[in-house]
Amino acid sequence: MAFIQKRVSESNTGFGAELQNLRELRGLTRNDVWRLTGIHPLLLTLFEEERFGELADPAYDERHVIRLIVALEGKVPFFVTKYRAAVRAIGTQSSQNVLLHPCVRKRDFLVFSRTPVVIGVLMILFFIGGFVSWHVLEVSEPPALLITSPKEGDHITSSIVKIIGQTEPTAMMLVNGERILVGEDGAFETELDIPSGLNTFTFEAKRRQGQTTTIERHVISERRIEQAALLPDVVSH
């Protein structure tokens, strides 16, 4: 590790070669350095091959150089000086001058170790969006309503009609404007007195927000007709 302690003036080796020598001295591949520092192998290749013209902002990427040298246990001032000299050699603006006017890069190299975090955030946003959409849809649509009894056009011979049906547990159920009880499973059942002749029933299932499902049924009570048919027999006796 003697070369780590030498001064800049004592070596004519370029920055990229020095960095590669340091990495190989530590027995690390570029992928090993990636796992250790989070710096993508492509960026490390650009440093080691001194392809600074392909960097978005060599001055901004100096922070990656420092992170690399710290992780590789090298001498930071030595490598930073080498890096800046190499950058100036290709005609790029001096890092020291750029630091007076920092420039935020528009993009960075993709670090795949962060991908699970991004996927997790996207999944959370997806589920939140799905829940909101489902809730909006549920609120905007009227509740389901099924009337099992009476059937349309039923003829009954009594003064009582049985009301049986099913709606949503949270819905408010009305029969001809009168509220009836809905069970925890959405089922409802009741009996109503009706006059003879044609009777109209209006069933309404309402949400709290006001959306309503309406079903209308017509029932004929023939109670008086049967009583009239029995009246001659009573008189004859």
Interatomic CA distance for residues 84 and 77, integer angstroms: 11
CA-CA-CA-CA torsion sign (14, 17, 23, 26): negative
- Pull the structure tokens for residue 30: 């570029």
The pLDDT-based confidence of 31 (bands split at 50, 70, 90) is: very high
CATH 3.30.1360.120 fits 145-236, yes or no: no
The pLDDT-based confidence of 96 (bands split at 50, 70, 90) is: very low
- Pull the structure tokens for residue 134: 């489902």
Residue 11: how many other CB atoms lie within 10 Å: 13
Question: SS3 of 8, please?
Answer: helix
- Pull the structure tokens for residue 91: 């005609």
- What's the pLDDT score for residue 197? 86
Q: Beta strand pairing status for 154-156 and 172-175? A: unpaired
- What's the pLDDT score for residue 5? 43
pTM higher than 0.85: no
Nearest to 23, CA basis, from 42, 45, 6, 38: 45
User: Considering the domain 2-109, what is its CATH architecture?
Assistant: Orthogonal Bundle (1.10)
**What spatial distance separates the first Cα and last Cα of the chain, rounded to whole Å?**
131
- What's the pLDDT score for residue 226? 47
Q: Give residue 212's identity as a one-letter amino acid code.
A: T
Q: What is the pLDDT of residues 155-192, one digit of tens each?
A: 888 889 999 999 989 888 999 999 999 998 999 999 98
Residue 125: how many other CB atoms lie within 10 Å: 10
Nearest to 29, CA basis, from 14, 16, 45: 45
Give residue limits of the domains in the chain. 2-109, 112-140, 145-236
